[in-house]
């Protein structure tokens, strides 16, 4: 009797092995193809940024380039212009992430606190903008003619400070914490500020890191705000730098102009893309798990 | 009324530190999510920069008449719905496939590697995606264009042929987001009680049967939630994606121009704030209706999928 499940399993394994093997092969093929398709564009960009500018413009993008040179990198990093844009991206990302994380954590704490009477109404107000847009014109005029912060870094930072998605990641974490801890602190005479900063927040390292990463990614990858509000060259983030060169290239492609118009910028362009995604690729293996966690919590519970 | 005010006052006083901590968040929420709503008012006004939103004179429905008289409204609305439908169908569909198949991978390191790979595209901006697309599709230099030239002897000019762009944009969407949605669905797969699979194995089920009869029905709810949420927003085009990838390439507008990009151009390039606002008012109206409709559907078939 004891051995019967094993017996069943083995018999079935033999009987269905052909079908099973086909299924597993198909699985593996689909996954392998998706994996390659997802990574191929990254590979293509990185490898071709190392191709000499002349070969790139003559031969186009290559899967296996034969010639390599670091001239593109030497040119872009050597002329130093890109550092200004890099600095803008870094400043916006660092300041924005710090501000957004603190504001969001404090706000979410209130939404999650059982003693706050209006927490559900406020949560609803936070949730509404997530499903309904608020209109581009109103937003544009708000920045340009009400707040007058266009052409400053504030225009790149402030609009993204409170993300409902990230707020709900924090809310769902705070709701999961045992309320007894807060109560114990109250009994010891602590006020709410103390409870939050000294008791609750220190226990929330993982969700805090998660929303920090979401904010950092959002700030780093944003080009929309810069496209709308930044005209001064020295305030343009990296992403908009890529956009400007691309638009010129596309124009060339549309008008079918000769290759030499496209040639020089193309390598510069690829190098710029590489140094833009470089930091993301470097930290990706270490931070990926936080994103996975955050999405699983935020998307389903939010 | 004073009674209500008194109770609000009491609430604010007892929890004053909490509300103080919430204040910056509330301020940002109000300023950046609710104040822009005043822009909708412009749809009914003749906006001039000097007079501002409140000072400009009312214009009745002139802006709407103008928008509907251009005859652009139908193609951009259809494009918006069509593209979003393609994105939801193929994006979510492929994500489900990925999630189920990744669930079959037994070796942890391999599973982790594959998942990291398909999730990676989510992390790059549309600007970078645009460059990657260019590397594949550029008229003479692109990898795909070169391959087509070598195989058929024809040069295809993707950037000037609107017909190719629905499939291209769908592929790009699947590429960038199926890993993201797969992560959500994998979360649902891992929360399935292993006892189901154990008893299925004893009953002699094959892996395919288990995937079809256990995994899919049990993640149905999560998939439905995501699909309904996305469908509720079917009138909202992704400006970041479409303006990022297509930009001002007017040759492709026939298949790629959506309500949001149209409104953006009306505002930025022709400076018609009022008309742009009229467009977004129409969009918001249709948007609210679809959201209410799909919310109603969701309440019927899957209460957890409702938006509110």
The two structure tokens encoding residue A264: 């020089």
Give the per-residue pLDDT at A92: 97
Question: Is it the case that residue A36 has pLDDT exceeding 90?
Answer: yes
The two structure tokens encoding residue B63: 């802006």
Distances (CA, A) of A127 to A167, B165, B174, B204, B248: 10, 33, 26, 46, 33
Residues B213 and B236: their CA atoms lie apart, in Å, by 35
pLDDT band at A2 (very low <50, low <70, confident <90, very high): very low
Give the per-residue pLDDT at A59: 83
- Lowest mean pLDDT of A4-18, A208-222, B50-64, name the range: A4-18
Contact (CB<8Å) B25/A110: yes
pLDDT band at A261 (very low <50, low <70, confident <90, very high): very low
Angle at which helices B273-301 and B259-268 cross, to 10°: 160
pLDDT band at A166 (very low <50, low <70, confident <90, very high): very high
Question: Is it the case that residue A298 has pLDDT exceeding 80?
Answer: no
Question: Closest Cα partner for B258 from B57, B77, B43, B132?
Answer: B77
Distance of CA A280 to the CA centre of its chain: 9
Contact (CB<8Å) B40/A57: no
pLDDT digits (tens, 9 = 90+) for B234-255: 999 888 899 999 888 888 999 9
Task: Report the C-alpha dihedral over residues B192, B194, B199, B200, rounded to 10 degrees.
Answer: 60
In B, which residues are within 8 Å of A62 by CB distance? 143
What is residue B58's three-state secondary structure? strand
Residues B171 and A45: their CA atoms lie apart, in Å, by 18
Give the per-residue pLDDT at B61: 84
Give the per-residue pLDDT at A249: 57
Contact (CB<8Å) A141/B136: no
Question: Closest Cα partner for A213 from B118, B26, B178, B123?
Answer: B123
What is residue A68's three-state secondary structure? coil
Give the per-residue pLDDT at B270: 83
Give the per-residue pLDDT at B14: 87
In the predicted model, residues of chain B with pLDDT beneath 50 are none
What backbone phi and psi angles, to 5 degrees, belong to B45? -125, 170
Highest mean pLDDT among A133-137, A188-192, A205-209, B203-207: A205-209
Asked if the C-beta of A19 comes within 8 angstroms of chain B's C-beta atoms, the answer is yes
Give the per-residue pLDDT at B305: 64
B26 → chain A, closest CA residue: A107
Distance of CA B238 to the CA centre of its chain: 6
Per-residue burial over B254-292, b = 16 or more CB atoms within 10 Å of its CB, e = otherwise = ebbbbbbbbbbbbbbeeebbbbbbbbbbbbbebbeebbe
Q: Could you confirm whether domain B63-305 is CATH 1.10.3720.10? A: yes
Chosen from A105, A120, A136 to mutate, greatest number of chain B CBs within 10 A: A136
Task: Report the C-alpha dihedral over residues B85, B90, B92, B95, rounded to 10 degrees.
Answer: -170
Question: Is it the case that residue A12 has pLDDT exceeding 60?
Answer: no
Angle at which helices B126-137 and B165-190 cross, to 10°: 130
Query: For the whole model, what pTM was predicted?
Result: 0.90
Question: Closest Cα partner for B190 from B118, B94, B119, B111?
Answer: B111
Q: Which CATH architecture has domain A73-301?
A: Orthogonal Bundle (1.10)
Distances (CA, A) of A277 to A226, A280, A294, B131: 18, 5, 21, 12
Give the per-residue pLDDT at A248: 61
**Mean pLDDT of the region A191-220:** 94
Residues B89 and B93: their CA atoms lie apart, in Å, by 6
Cα angle A87, A90, A91 (rounded to 5 degrees) comes to 85
Determine contact, residues B304/B219, Cβ cutoff 8 Å: no
Q: Would you list the DSSP string of A231-299?
A: --GGG--HHHHHHHHHHHHHHHHHHT--HHHHHHHHHHHHHHHHHHHHHHHHHHHHHHHHHHHHHHHHH
Question: Closest Cα partner for A122 from A133, A102, A106?
Answer: A106
Q: Which of A60, A135, A196 sits opposite B39 (nearest CB)?
A: A135
Asked if the C-beta of A107 comes within 8 angstroms of chain B's C-beta atoms, the answer is yes
Question: Closest Cα partner for A97 from A214, A263, A197?
Answer: A214
Mean pLDDT of chain A: 85
B45 forms beta bridges with B58
Cβ contacts from A onto B, under 8 A: 310
ipTM: 0.91
Per-residue burial over A269-289, b = 16 or more CB atoms within 10 Å of its CB, e = otherwise = bbbbbbbbbebbeeeeeebbe
Residues A239 and A222: their CA atoms lie apart, in Å, by 7
- Lowest mean pLDDT of A246-250, A259-263, B26-30, B181-185, name the range: A259-263
In B, which residues are within 8 Å of A249 by CB distance? 134, 138
Helices marked H in A113-204: 119-131, 136-141, 154-157, 164-176, 179-187, 192-194
Residues B31 and A180: their CA atoms lie apart, in Å, by 35
Give the per-residue pLDDT at A301: 54
Give the per-residue pLDDT at A8: 43
Asked if the C-beta of A6 comes within 8 angstroms of chain B's C-beta atoms, the answer is no
Give the per-residue pLDDT at A78: 82
In chain A, the percentage of residues whose pLDDT exceeds 70 is: 86
Residues A218 and B58: their CA atoms lie apart, in Å, by 38
For the beta carbon of residue A126, count every other beta carbon within 10 angstroms.
Answer: 23
The two structure tokens encoding residue A190: 């602590």
Asked if the C-beta of A127 comes within 8 angstroms of chain B's C-beta atoms, the answer is yes
Tell me how close the Cα of A233 comes to any Cα of chain B, in angstroms: 18
Tell me how close the Cα of B302 comes to any Cα of chain A, in angstroms: 14
**Which single residue is written with the structure tokens 């118009």?**
A261
What backbone phi and psi angles, to 5 degrees, belong to B58? -70, 145
Distances (CA, A) of B248 to A184, B155, B171, B284: 60, 23, 21, 24
Mean pLDDT of chain B: 89
Q: Could you tell me the sign of the dihedral formed by the alpha carbons of A111, A114, A115, A120, in that order?
A: positive
pLDDT digits (tens, 9 = 90+) for A97-123: 999 999 999 999 999 999 998 999 999
A246 → chain B, closest CA residue: B131
Contact (CB<8Å) B127/A56: no
Sorted by where each begins, the domain ranges of chain B are 2-60, 63-305
pLDDT digits (tens, 9 = 90+) for A64-80: 888 888 888 888 888 77
Tell me how close the Cα of A154 comes to any Cα of chain B, in angstroms: 13
The two structure tokens encoding residue A158: 């402030």
Give the per-residue pLDDT at A3: 38
Residues B206 and B192: their CA atoms lie apart, in Å, by 18
């Amino acid at each position: 009797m004891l051995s019967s499940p094993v017996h069943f399993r083995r018999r079935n394994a033999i009987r269905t092995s052909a079908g099973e093997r086909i299924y597993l092969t198909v699985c593996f093929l689909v996954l392998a193809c998706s994996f390659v398709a997802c990574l191929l564009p990254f590979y293509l960009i990185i490898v071709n940024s190392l191709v000499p500018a002349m070969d790139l413009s003559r031969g186009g993008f290559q899967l296996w380039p034969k010639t390599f040179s670091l001239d593109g990198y030497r040119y872009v990093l050597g002329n130093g212009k890109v550092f200004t844009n890099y600095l803008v991206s870094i400043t916006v990302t660092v300041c924005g992430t710090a501000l957004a994380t603190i504001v969001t954590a404090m706000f979410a704490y209130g939404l999650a606190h059982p003693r706050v009477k209006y927490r559900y109404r406020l949560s609803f107000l936070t949730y509404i903008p997530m499903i309904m847009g608020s209109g581009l014109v109103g937003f544009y005029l708000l920045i340009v003619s009400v707040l007058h912060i266009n052409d400053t870094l504030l225009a790149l930072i402030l609009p993204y400070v409170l993300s409902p998605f990230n707020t709900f990641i924090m809310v769902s974490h705070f709701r999961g914490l045992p309320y007894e801890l807060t109560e114990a602190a109250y009994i010891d005479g602590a006020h709410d500020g103390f409870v939050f900063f000294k008791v609750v927040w220190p226990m929330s390292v993982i969700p805090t890191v998660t929303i920090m990463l979401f904010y950092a990614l959002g700030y780093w990858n944003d080009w929309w705000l810069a496209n709308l509000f930044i005209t001064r060259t020295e305030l343009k983030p990296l992403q908009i730098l890529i956009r400007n060169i691309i638009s010129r290239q596309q124009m060339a492609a549309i008008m079918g102009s000769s290759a030499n118009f496209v040639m020089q910028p193309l390598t510069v362009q690829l190098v710029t893309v590489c140094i833009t995604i470089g930091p993301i690729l470097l930290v990706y293996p270490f931070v990926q798990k936080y994103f996975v966690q955050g999405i699983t919590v935020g998307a389903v519970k939010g | 009324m004073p009674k209500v005010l008194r109770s609000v006052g009491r609430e604010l006083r007892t929890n004053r530190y909490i509300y103080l901590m919430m204040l910056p968040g509330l301020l940002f929420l109000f300023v950046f999510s609710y104040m822009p709503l005043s822009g909708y008012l412009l749809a009914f006004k003749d906006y001039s920069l000097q007079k501002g939103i409140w000072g400009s004179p009312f214009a009745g429905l002139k802006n709407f008449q103008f928008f509907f008289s251009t005859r652009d409204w139908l193609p951009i609305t259809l494009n918006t719905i069509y593209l979003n439908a393609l994105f939801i169908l193929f994006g979510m569909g492929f994500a489900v496939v990925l999630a189920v198949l990744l669930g079959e991978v037994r070796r942890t390191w391999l599973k982790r590697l594959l998942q990291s790979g398909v999730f990676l595209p989510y992390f790059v901006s549309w600007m970078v995606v645009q460059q990657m697309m260019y590397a594949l599709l550029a008229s003479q230099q692109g990898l795909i264009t070169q391959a087509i030239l070598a195989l058929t002897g024809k040069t295809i000019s993707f950037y000037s042929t609107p017909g190719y762009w629905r499939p291209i944009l769908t592929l790009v969407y699947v590429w960038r987001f199926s890993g993201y949605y797969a992560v959500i669905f994998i979360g649902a797969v891992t929360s399935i009680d292993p006892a189901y699979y154990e008893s299925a194995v004893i009953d002699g089920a094959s892996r395919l049967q288990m995937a079809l009869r256990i995994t899919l029905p049990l993640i149905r709810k999560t998939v439905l939630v995501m699909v309904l949420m996305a469908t509720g927003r079917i009138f909202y085009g992704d400006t970041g994606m479409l303006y990022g990838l297509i930009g001002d390439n007017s040759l492709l507008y026939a298949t790629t121009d959506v309500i949001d990009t149209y409104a953006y151009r009306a505002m930025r390039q022709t400076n018609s704030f009022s008309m742009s606002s009229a467009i977004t008012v129409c969009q918001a109206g249709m948007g609210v209706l679809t959201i209410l409709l799909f919310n109603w559907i969701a309440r019927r078939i899957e209460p957890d999928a409702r938006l509110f």
